Amino acid sequence: MNAHRSDDGLDSTIAALAASDGDALAKADAEGIPDSAEVLDWSAMVQRVVLGERDLSALRAVVPTLVERLARILRTTTLPAGLEPERAALQLVRRLPRVRATLAQDVEAAFEGDPAATGYAEIVAAYPALRAITTYRIAHELHRLGVPLLPRIMSEHAHARTGIDIHAGARIGRRFFIDHGTGVVIGETCQIGDRVVIYQGVTLGALAPRKGQRLRGVKRHPTIEDDVTIYAAATILGGDTVIGRGSVIGGNVWLTHSVPPCSKVQIESPRLQLDRDEQCIECLDQLSWDI
C-alpha cells in the first residue's frame, strides 16, 4: 500500500506541517527538546543509586554511566553560555553524596513524624512524598547548575505520579516532611527552612497579577521559616509573605501576609447545627432486628 499518492490532497497538509513560521512550537523546537523518556530513565537510575545502592563494585560501574548519559542528554538542548555538557554532568554527579545525606535526613523526619510508619524501608519504598522530594532534590541541583528543561520534565513526572508539585527552583531545607501529600504545590521562588512539616492540599503559591513574563526572576512565593507546621488545604501566597519560625498554620487558612514567629493561625471554628429527622427515627423504631 502506497504511503502517499500525489492525488490524495495531502501535499498541502504535509507542506503546512513542515513549515516553520516562527510560532511558539517552532521556537520550542529551535531551543532543543530532549527525549523525555531518556530523561526520566536517567532520573530513575539516579534515584536508585541515591536511595538504595551501596555495593562498591556496582557503584563503580553505574556512576560513570550516569555522567555519560546525562552529558548525552544535555547535548540535545541549549545550555547557558559557558556550560559544557560534560562538565555539567560531572558536577551534578559529584553532588549526589550531599543529596543522599539530605534525603537520609528527610527519611528520618518522616519516620519521626508519622506514627503509621513501620520502619525506614517502608518510607523509602512506598511513600509518595519521599519520591517527590527525591526527584526535587536531584532536579534542584540541575536547576542550580543552570540546566534547562530537564528539572521541569523530572518534576512534572513526579507530580503526575504522586500528586505533589514541587518546582525545582524552590529552596528547601533539611528534614523536610510532607504527610500524605496529595495536592501539595510549592512554587519556584519558595524558600522553606529546616524541620518543616506540610500536610496534603497545601499551596505555597504566588499572587496572580497579570504580568506574566515581567515577573520572571522576582520572588513570588512565600518564605517558610524553620520548625513550621502547615495543616491540610492551607493556602499561603505572595513573595513578601513570611511565616515566622515555630508557627502553626491551621487547615483551610488563606494567608497573603506575614505572621511573626511562634504564631498559631486558624480560622474561627464553624458553628455546627444538628437537627433530628423524627420520621426517620420512627422508621428505625419499626425495623425488625431478628435474625
Q: What is the pLDDT of residues 19-73, one digit of tens each?
A: 877 888 888 888 889 999 999 999 999 999 999 999 999 999 999 999 999 999 9
pLDDT at 234 over 80: yes
Instruction: Confirm whether 285 is domain-assigned.
Output: no
Residue ranges making up the domain that contains 51: 32-165
153 with 212, same domain: the answer is no
pLDDT at 216: 78
241 with 144, same domain: the answer is no
153 with 52, same domain: the answer is yes
In CATH, what number is assigned to the domain containing residue 73? 1.10.3130.10
Angle of helix 36-52 relative to helix 150-162, nearest 10 degrees? 70
186 with 69, same domain: the answer is no
43 with 156, same domain: the answer is yes
pLDDT at 25: 87
Query: Which of 109, 134, 165 represents a domain boundary (last residue)?
Result: 165
Instruction: Confirm whether 224 is domain-assigned.
Output: yes
CB atoms within 10 A of CB 113: 15
CA distance 167 to 35: 20
User: Which of the four pLDDT bands, split at 50, 70 and 90, describes residue 290?
Assistant: low
Q: Which amino acid is at 28?
A: A
230 with 257, same domain: the answer is yes
User: Which of the four pLDDT bands, split at 50, 70 and 90, describes residue 245?
Assistant: very high
Instruction: Confirm whether 82 is domain-assigned.
Output: yes
User: Which of the four pLDDT bands, split at 50, 70 and 90, describes residue 287?
Assistant: low
Instruction: Confirm whether 73 is domain-assigned.
Output: yes
Query: Which of 165, 193, 223 represents a domain boundary (last residue)?
Result: 165
pLDDT at 5 over 60: no
125 with 202, same domain: the answer is no
pLDDT at 3: 57
Q: Whose grid coordinates read 547557558? A: 80
Size of the chain, expressed as the number of residues it contains: 291
pLDDT at 29: 86
Q: What are phi and psi of 265, to 5 degrees?
A: -115, 125
Query: Which of 165, 190, 225 represents a domain boundary (last residue)?
Result: 165
179 with 161, same domain: the answer is no
Q: What are phi and psi of 111, to 5 degrees?
A: -65, -45
In CATH, what number is assigned to the domain containing residue 203? 2.160.10.10
148 with 235, same domain: the answer is no
pTM: 0.89
Given a contact cutoff of 8 angstroms between Cβ atoms, the answer to whether 205 and 187 are in contact is yes
Instruction: Confirm whether 23 is domain-assigned.
Output: no
For the chain, percent of residues with pLDDT exceeding 70: 92
- Distances from the Cα of 225 to the Cαs of 153, 228, 256, 288, in angstroms? 28, 6, 16, 60
Tell me what the pLDDT averaged over the chain comes to. Answer: 92
Q: What's the domain count of the chain?
A: 2
pLDDT tens-place string over residues 152-182: 999 999 999 999 999 999 999 999 999 999 9
Instruction: Confirm whether 220 is domain-assigned.
Output: yes
pLDDT at 274: 81
159 with 180, same domain: the answer is no
Q: Whose grid coordinates read 512565600? A: 222
Torsion sign (Cα): 69, 78, 36, 134: positive
90 with 161, same domain: the answer is yes
pLDDT at 282: 67
The answer to whether 180 is a known catalytic residue is: no
pLDDT at 6 over 60: no
Instruction: Confirm whether 24 is domain-assigned.
Output: no
Closest to 233 measured CA to CA, from 253, 256, 259: 253
pLDDT at 214: 72
From 4, 159, 180, 257, active-site residue: 257
pLDDT at 137: 98
184 with 226, same domain: the answer is yes
CA distance 247 to 125: 31
Instruction: Confirm whether 228 is domain-assigned.
Output: yes
